[in-house]
Amino acid sequence: MKNPIEFTLEKYSGKKSRFTCPKCNRAGEFTRYVHPETGERLPPYVGICNRKDKCGYAYSNGDYIRENPGAHANERITSALPKPVIPPSFMNWALLSKSMSHYPENNLYLFLCNLVGMKEAEAILAKYYVGTSKHWAGASVYWQVDLQSNVRSGKVMLYNSETGKRQHKKQTWVHAVMGLKGFNLSQCLFGEHLLGLEENREKGVAIVESEKTAIIASRFIDSVVWLATGGLELLNPATNPAKFKPLIGRQVILYPDLSLPNSFNGDTAFKSWTRKAEFLRFMGVKVTVSELLENVATDEERENGFDIADYLIRK
């Protein structure tokens, strides 16, 4: 791909030069970015809706560069070669089952026991496939199981049993700990397996950043299915659309954490996810971004990265 900065809004040259807007879905109203020499276009969600007042969708080539730093450089290297399609690797169910024990040694379980009681804590961990790991004393494993019941791998993390906060920034994966050679980790949404359950088929979906937030929120609000991306940057439909396909056709609400503007482009998590939502919409996901936390946030909560689980616990 040419450098996205060289792309300009396409000049009108008849119907073929105007497209369907990813936001309002009107045909023939969307102007895309085109390379003046090669005629190559940026992805179909990059452009401006002509219905400025009624729709107002605008996603510039500059926005695209900010959202995909290095996209241009990487593509230059890889576009010369046909992309090898490496199928995702899966792990054995027996490993997952074996880890679903030793809960008294699991700090996350101990924290949840204080919060919601032992019975509920056990039920939540069983429902979400959260196990215990020996990798660090007190560690937990968040297994990622997809809609087809494939185990993608497990993320190992450590919490403080009293505060429920991360014990250290380190995290690892079960396949890495086991030293599996050539393992192709292809992450799915944490909790994705729940979308396939009969009782959840009609439910809306709520998406948060962290696994812990998802499991806690599910205890307070069970009218939606709570899933986690596994991190702010892992809501990445533009670069990993496959991860978000299970959401197509469903009513989805995104709950980004509170955050201060980052030093890179001044975005808060809310702003970043609002932009990503445009791409999800383009894929056919009916998505909104919750403003709940934005509306109630204090400066201190912003600084501390307050999330929807913190809010629900306080309420």
Residue whose structure tokens are 């192709």? 184
Strands 286-289 and 251-255: parallel
Check binding of 21 to Zn ion (CB under 5 A): yes
Q: How far is the CB of 9 from Zn ion (least distance, A)?
A: 15
Strands 47-49 and 251-255: unpaired
Q: How far is the CB of 1 from Zn ion (least distance, A)?
A: 25
| Stretch of 16-24, 78-86, 218-226, 247-255 lying at the interface with Zn ion (CB under 5 A) | 16-24
Strand partners, 59: 47
Helix extents (H) in the chain: 61-67, 71-78, 93-99, 107-116, 118-128, 174-177, 211-220, 269-283, 292-296, 299-303, 308-314
Alpha carbon of residue 163 to chain centroid: 25
Answer for the pair 224, 205: CB distance below 8 angstroms, yes or no.
yes
CB nearer Zn ion, residue 48 or residue 124:
48
**DSSP letter, residue 91:** B
What is the end-to-end Cα distance of the chain in Å, rounded? 50
Per-residue binder mask for Zn ion (CB under 5 A), 132-171, x = binder = ----------------------------------------
CB nearer Zn ion, residue 29 or residue 257:
29
CB nearer Zn ion, residue 6 or residue 63:
63
Question: How big is the site for Zn ion, counted in residues (CB under 5 A)?
Answer: 6
Answer for the pair 152, 146: CB distance below 8 angstroms, yes or no.
yes
| Stretch of 14-22, 80-88, 102-110, 158-166 lying at the interface with Zn ion (CB under 5 A) | 14-22
Q: What's the rounded Cα separation, in Å, for the pair 225 and 216?
A: 12
CB nearer Zn ion, residue 33 or residue 190:
33
Q: How far is the CB of 282 from Zn ion (least distance, A)?
A: 11
CB nearer Zn ion, residue 23 or residue 152:
23
Q: How far is the CB of 30 from Zn ion (least distance, A)?
A: 7
CB nearer Zn ion, residue 193 or residue 281:
281
CB nearer Zn ion, residue 50 or residue 265:
50
Q: What's the rounded Cα separation, in Å, for the pair 169 and 204?
A: 32
Q: How far is the CB of 56 from Zn ion (least distance, A)?
A: 7
What type of residue sits at position 269?
A
Q: What's the rounded Cα separation, in Å, for the pair 162 and 120?
A: 17
Residue whose structure tokens are 């909790």? 191
Residue among 1, 24, 115, 313 that touches Zn ion (CB under 5 A): 24
Q: How far is the CB of 22 from Zn ion (least distance, A)?
A: 8
Answer for the pair 273, 285: CB distance below 8 angstroms, yes or no.
no
Q: How far is the CB of 52 from Zn ion (least distance, A)?
A: 9
SS3 content of the chain, % helix, strand, coil (to 5): 35, 20, 45
| Stretch of 15-23, 75-83, 94-102, 173-181 lying at the interface with Zn ion (CB under 5 A) | 15-23
Q: How many CB atoms lie within 10 A of CB 281?
A: 20
Site for Zn ion in 32-91 (CB under 5 A): 49, 55, 57
Q: How far is the CB of 57 from Zn ion (least distance, A)?
A: 5
CB nearer Zn ion, residue 23 or residue 175:
23
CB nearer Zn ion, residue 28 or residue 261:
28
Q: How far is the CB of 43 from Zn ion (least distance, A)?
A: 16
What residue ranges bind Zn ion (CB under 5 A)? 21, 23-24, 49, 55, 57
